[in-house]
Structure 1
Amino acid sequence: MVGPPLLSMEGIGKSFPNGTVALRAARLTVHPGSVHGLVGANGAGKSTMIKVIAGAHEPTSGVVRWKGEEVVWRAPGAARKAGVATIMQHVPLAPTLSVLENVFLGARGPWRLPRARRAEFARLLERVGYAIDPDAEVSGLAIGERQMVAILQALATGAELVVMDEPTASLAEGERQVVFDVVRRLSAQGTAFLYVSHFLDEVLSLTDRITVLRDGTVVEEGETAGYDEDRLVQAIVGRDLLAVERKAAAPLADDARVLLSVRGLSSPAGVREVSFEARAGEVIGIAGLLGSGRSELLHAVYGADPRARGEVLVEGRPLRRTPRAAVAAGMALVPEDRGAQGLVGTFPIWKNISLPHLPALSSGRALPREPAETERAVRAIADLGIVCPGPGALPGELSGGNAQKVVFGKWLYGGARVFLLDEPTAGVDVGAKADILELVRAFAAGGGAVLVASSEFEEILAVATRVLVVREGRIVAERAAHETSEEELLMLANGFGEGGARDAA
């Protein structure tokens, strides 16, 4: 790039009080008018890097320079005032306000007058080459339109650098193209973009330069023209293996019964004509990137999505589409957000573990028996190796890995035969990951069927019998776990290499 950088970061380190080191001597340089891609696996440090740029995190070490001057942004407002706008995946707009009011929310200047404000809005629309009703209420907009409102809001603040975090994760193809066109148009006018995405095809087609993070360190950077999908995948994955033994799955018995059948399952939430079967003793990996529909698929199977259509059968019997019916049929869901969906924070461990099957632990199925509940919790603590002061501890007192084990403990003793696990090792340390994956193996070995949805493909391969690759709500490929690799799954999830003989229709 010709000319001085707009943003430069050198030797950036970030450590947290709990001992987590998120960034290690990281670096980044963004030039005016460029579109710079930032990529890496989950946990690579992308989010922390974004927060340092946005002023939400102050780096532990290193130097940030803005237009050549060293800066220390101790709050997001300071970064915004300097000319940095950050657009997160979940667009933080005010839903009850109009488009116009959101675009100029908190703005200062003459456009606070209605006529001047509308004139400025019209100029912004001309800049981006997009049309939208300024008086439309944001709550009624499609997600793609909300993304455009966020871009307009960034421009209204005078942003010279726009950081976009997974901007297309929830968008349909047509909406993605609109975002791409606007990014290209604005970069040609001199606005710089830092584009953070799991979708590598987008990064390769849209950006000028790429920085690759792995384990908090920059492992590669260079002109996008020097990369293809193979090189980028290799850079992201690296050769650092998890401390989880990858074991060959035991062959399924010829007479292994089908525990779960899914036929033509679809939902407006992002599931499209999905069909598959899971047999006793089988672990099926659902491999997909952020926004692929993997979580939505599990929720639809479980009956937690009232808009889903299609057929779900447990041991040959059609399932009524409610979570209560799923539990009664022997299905368990371990959700991605264990804090909000998997645990009751105000309940001690013993109450959380007994909650799904409380009638069986109650006198006359009506009056809870605390000794029986506590006994089950003590058993779970011992069986799962939950490190805690005792069954009376609250979930908030536990580490992430131990809290996740409590979620598993809720289901292990109630006769569940089908486990649906959504990012089961998210936010836990390596030791806890190994423990949790061993629980998955043990459940399948005991005759259950497990679906594991994850963007951590190495973990999927550590436990899966076979893998279904999901992209845009569809199963686009199926692989036997022992016949594929993390690199191949990442390419398939990104849309590279689809259409082969082994790929799903």
Structure 2
Amino acid sequence: MHPAMVTTPLLSLEGVGKSFPNGTVALRGARLNVLPGSVHGLVGANGAGKSTMIKVIAGAHAPTTGTVRWKGEEVVWRTPGAARDAGVATIMQHVPLAPTLTVLENVFLGSRGPWRLPRARRAEFARLLERVNYDIDPDAEVMDLAIGERQMVAILQALATGAELVVMDEPTASLAEGERRVVFDVVRRLSAQGTAFLYVSHFLDEVLSLTDRVTVLRDGTVVEEGETASYDEDRLVQAIVGRDLLAVERRTAPPVDAAAPVLLTVRDLRSPAGVRDVSFEVRAGEVVGFAGLLGSGRSEILHAVYGADARARGEVLVDGEAVRRTPRAAVAAGMALVPEDRNAQGLIGTFPIWKNISLPDLPSLASGRALPRERAEAERAERVIADLGIVCPGPEAMVTELSGGNAQKVVFGKWLHGGTRVFMLDEPTAGVDVGAKADILELVRRFAAQGGAVLVASSEFEEILAVATRVFVVREGRIVAERPAHETSEEELLMLANGFGEGGAQGAA
């Protein structure tokens, strides 16, 4: 039966509020109705309350006020296990699979009953693959799988529990275009079979093309909900952030004066990690984009320039001075790297905001460059929080309490007051919403306007074109083409990244 013909929601939230002991109010009278067999979009800015709503649905958080109903009956799920047993499966952005176990073992991890018998497991696994029209080796270890394949294992795992509702939190944030299409096809296929989905994504084009209905959260409150067909991207953005940000995101940077000094020089950079004979220059005030598909080597180039790849060879110069091939030397020379995986490489989760922000520049914040001055560190954190508009209770808040966009701003903020001249950004807006994305892109523009040099590696070509002055196209670890940003397009960059069209010379400033 089509979702529009169903009157009783599979899941409903009525007047749900959630407050935390530190005074944070994450949800205020929120509502949600997910129909059987539907794909329901949930969107909102980072910090809007999406993660909290997901955790309420998954049984990880008990609501402070309001009611949760499952198939029309009021329920109180006090643990994720209780929600899972009822028929709710949640797939978080960072897929929590056991990397040393096989695909088959992960799919039936925690299952009870006949799944303990290898033959029964394999027979059921085959039926699950038929349901999703997908093929994967059941004996492959998860650690050897690509990110897209891991996402499919998580979906199979959800189906193995008998889930009637699958909650997907940013399911395509780290996927290449081909992998995204596979996920879309599976969601549509399962929805047609009667499985409902709550699809949480900051990719608005996905929400508009994939979902039946959409709910918009802002500041913990539902501000809009309705049939997805009644929305376009402009209306959805305005509902999310309360203002038009698309023009800000899409503003192309003007070319940089050819007489501007060269800040960064890279010569003959190469590495077994997949960097091959890379040379280029970046001038003061310039933003250079590295456009490439997943696995192209764009991230590896940034890590090699920064000295994070010990096997890399070649020359890196800042202001004409050679930089040793270590991150410490890079920082001393005025270079900063904002990595793609901010949680594992950009932040220390056991530290509060103020400690994370002061880490790269502790000597200048210490008495005699030795004794910590916590007041000075806290003052810097307060300044960064104000400058970047970081939404948090204060500098003492743990970075693990922040939304994705605000956590990314902390990673930026720790480099802003320590003499950084060259910023290298690897997928700087991965996992953040349109509001935070616009803020981060504006930070990039501001840093360049103040005379800095910026390198941005991204698979989001629209994002590169929004801030870059020049674009290098990367394929198989090489720069295969160079284009002025104002003279190219997403379509041309995609063709070049796929190996179509003519390459350009490297490295001309």
Which TM-score applies when normalising by structure 2?
0.69
Q: Which amino acid aligns with 2:35?
A: H
Aligned twin of 1:125: 129
- 1:93-112 matches, within 5 Å, as 93-112=97-116
CA distance in 2, matches of 1:407, 1:20: 24
- Alpha-carbon contact 2:265-2:281 (below 8 Å) kept: yes
Going from structure 1 to structure 2, the CA distance change for 1:270 and 1:408 (only over 3 Å counts) comes to farther
CA distance in 1, matches of 2:20, 2:94: 24
C-alpha deviation, 1:406, in angstroms: 11
- Alpha-carbon contact 2:470-2:485 (below 8 Å) kept: yes
Which consecutive unaligned segments of at least 5 residues does structure 1 have? 242-248, 362-368, 388-394, 428-433, 455-459, 481-490, 496-504
Deviations 1:339-394 (A, max 9, x none): 964569699x9999687797x99xxxxxxx9733238887666677679xxxxxxx
Residue 257 in structure 1 maps to residue 261 in structure 2: yes
C-alpha deviation, 1:173, in angstroms: 2.0
- Alpha-carbon contact 2:343-2:349 (below 8 Å) kept: no
C-alpha deviation, 1:82, in angstroms: 0.6
Q: Which amino acid aligns with 1:192?
A: A
SS of the residue corresponding to residue 195 of structure 1 reads strand
Alignment match of 2:35 (pick from 31, 34, 44):
31
Aligned twin of 2:248: none
Going from structure 1 to structure 2, the CA distance change for 1:147 and 1:274 (only over 3 Å counts) comes to farther
CA distance in 1, matches of 2:310, 2:350: 26
Aligned twin of 1:77: 81
SS of the residue corresponding to residue 110 of structure 2 reads coil
Deviations 1:14-41 (A, max 9, x none): 2222222222222111111111111122
Going from structure 1 to structure 2, the CA distance change for 1:147 and 1:215 (only over 3 Å counts) comes to same
CA distance in 1, matches of 2:117, 2:35: 35
- Alpha-carbon contact 1:259-1:314 (below 8 Å) kept: yes
C-alpha deviation, 1:215, in angstroms: 2.1
Alignment match of 1:135 (pick from 134, 139, 164):
139
Residue 210 in structure 1 maps to residue 214 in structure 2: yes
Going from structure 1 to structure 2, the CA distance change for 1:311 and 1:227 (only over 3 Å counts) comes to farther
C-alpha deviation, 1:284, in angstroms: 8.3
CA distance in 2, matches of 1:380, 1:232: 39
C-alpha deviation, 1:10, in angstroms: 1.6
- 1:225-304 matches, within 5 Å, as 225-239=229-243, 255-260=259-264, 278-280=282-284, 299=303, 301-304=305-308
CA distance in 1, matches of 2:70, 2:61: 16
Residue 331 in structure 1 maps to residue 335 in structure 2: yes
- Alpha-carbon contact 2:103-2:140 (below 8 Å) kept: yes
Going from structure 1 to structure 2, the CA distance change for 1:26 and 1:277 (only over 3 Å counts) comes to farther
Going from structure 1 to structure 2, the CA distance change for 1:293 and 1:198 (only over 3 Å counts) comes to farther
Aligned twin of 1:47: 51
C-alpha deviation, 1:160, in angstroms: 0.2
Alignment match of 1:158 (pick from 155, 158, 162):
162
Aligned twin of 1:148: 152
SS of the residue corresponding to residue 177 of structure 1 reads helix
Aligned twin of 1:373: 370
C-alpha deviation, 1:103, in angstroms: 1.0
- Alpha-carbon contact 1:266-1:309 (below 8 Å) kept: yes
Q: Which amino acid aligns with 2:59?
A: G
CA distance in 2, matches of 1:226, 1:271: 46
- Alpha-carbon contact 2:342-2:411 (below 8 Å) kept: no
Going from structure 1 to structure 2, the CA distance change for 1:190 and 1:346 (only over 3 Å counts) comes to closer
Alignment match of 2:172 (pick from 155, 168, 171):
168
CA distance in 1, matches of 2:31, 2:234: 23
- 1:379-458 matches, within 5 Å, as 412=417, 416-420=420-424, 445=450, 448-449=452-453
Aligned twin of 1:484: none
SS of the residue corresponding to residue 139 of structure 2 reads coil
C-alpha deviation, 1:171, in angstroms: 1.8
Tell me which moved more, 378-387 or 328-337: 378-387
SS of the residue corresponding to residue 135 of structure 1 reads coil
C-alpha deviation, 1:6, in angstroms: 0.2
Residue 64 in structure 1 maps to residue 68 in structure 2: yes
The alignment's C-alpha RMSD in Å is: 5.8
- Alpha-carbon contact 2:59-2:83 (below 8 Å) kept: yes
C-alpha deviation, 1:117, in angstroms: 1.8
Identity rate, percent:
70
CA distance in 2, matches of 1:304, 1:165: 30
Aligned twin of 1:391: none
- Alpha-carbon contact 2:237-2:244 (below 8 Å) kept: no
Residue 113 in structure 1 maps to residue 124 in structure 2: no
Q: Which amino acid aligns with 1:371?
A: G
- Alpha-carbon contact 1:11-1:27 (below 8 Å) kept: yes
C-alpha deviation, 1:233, in angstroms: 2.4
Going from structure 1 to structure 2, the CA distance change for 1:74 and 1:376 (only over 3 Å counts) comes to closer
Going from structure 1 to structure 2, the CA distance change for 1:292 and 1:218 (only over 3 Å counts) comes to farther
Tell me which moved more, 73-82 or 164-173: 164-173
CA distance in 1, matches of 2:237, 2:297: 21
